Chain A
């Protein structure tokens, strides 16, 4: 008879470490902005870094990483709608 699988455990994350990563990303953003590179080259980078920072805050500080998926759905649905409408305003 097989023994039941051990429960999946996650190592506690350090909130200070999350802050450090967020601060470093922000410093990188400011540094890249200061270089004065062409916007076409940096805009995608800034948007991706921003998405990464927002995701980190939601996942680790708002605890969506391990809270009910219902909360994630409530949060993500309007975010997806916003992204669609924002893209429409740019494309059309």
Chain B
């Protein structure tokens, strides 16, 4: 069942002149700034890739990264399912979905760590070439965002366990979800830019 957000009919009187939640608006602004952050890194990678075709890209294991992509897409499903669960007052299911999200996030990071180690063994490091620098910077920063997302998921889970979220008050789950889905979108773009084209 699709998540339905709670109505804020007294939003104007509560000081939310646009009828927008301040926390949610802040997270969207943060996401907007993150688009520019990753945009700069991706543009730099593209500039290098277009002007310097390199055999080093043949070292990348598209199959392994494809599995990792499925894992991250699945984690987006568990996050939105957690939000839908708390939206209908089912906090226990929300907690289970958050645990699944944490497991999938850790699985993604493990896959990325395995990929990094494999590339190190082939001599590709952060300082070995321009390709190595741009590749590890881009994927490393994304992995760092996933790590932050896992920590945020843990925090949301513990808050859920303490009963901080109810059917009517669960903005914390929603903004965590926005962040996680954004990280998923970034990976969708990186998967295409780095591994497919």
Contact = CB atoms under 8 A, between A and B. Distances in A.
Interface of A: 12-16, 18-19, 22-23, 26, 29-30, 33, 39, 42-43, 46-47, 49-50, 53-54, 57-58, 60-63, 67-68, 70-71, 74-75, 77-79, 81-82, 85-86, 89-90
B188 interface: yes
A82 B35 contact: yes
Top 4 nearest A-B pairs (CB, nearest first) are A82-B39, A12-B2, A50-B192, A78-B35
Interface stretch (B121-129, B143-151, B158-166, B175-183): B175-183
B5 A63 contact: yes
Given A29-B196, A79-B35, A90-B46, A74 B29 contact: yes
Interface residues of B, number: 49
B69 A26 contact: yes
A28 to B, nearest CB: 11
Contacts, number: 121
Contacts of B32: 74-75, 77-78
**Helix, strand, loop or mixed for chain A's interface?**
helix
B70 A23 contact: yes
18 contacts: A12-B2, A19-B76, A19-B77, A22-B73, A30-B66, A42-B197, A43-B197, A50-B188, A53-B188, A57-B184, A61-B77, A61-B184, A62-B177, A62-B178, A74-B28, A75-B31, A79-B35, A89-B46
Given A15-B81, A39-B197, A30 B62 contact: yes
Nearest to B18: A70
B177 to A, nearest CB: 7
Given A19-B76, A30-B62, 9 more contacts: A12-B2, A14-B2, A19-B73, A46-B192, A54-B189, A57-B76, A61-B177, A71-B25, A85-B39
Contacts of B113: none
A74 to B, nearest CB: 5
Nearest to A68: B20
A15 to B, nearest CB: 5
B36 A81 contact: yes
Interface string B21-47: 000110011011101100100111011
A32 B149 CA distance: 31
B138 interface: no
B59 interface: no
A57 B196 contact: no
B104 to A, nearest CB: 12
B1 interface: yes
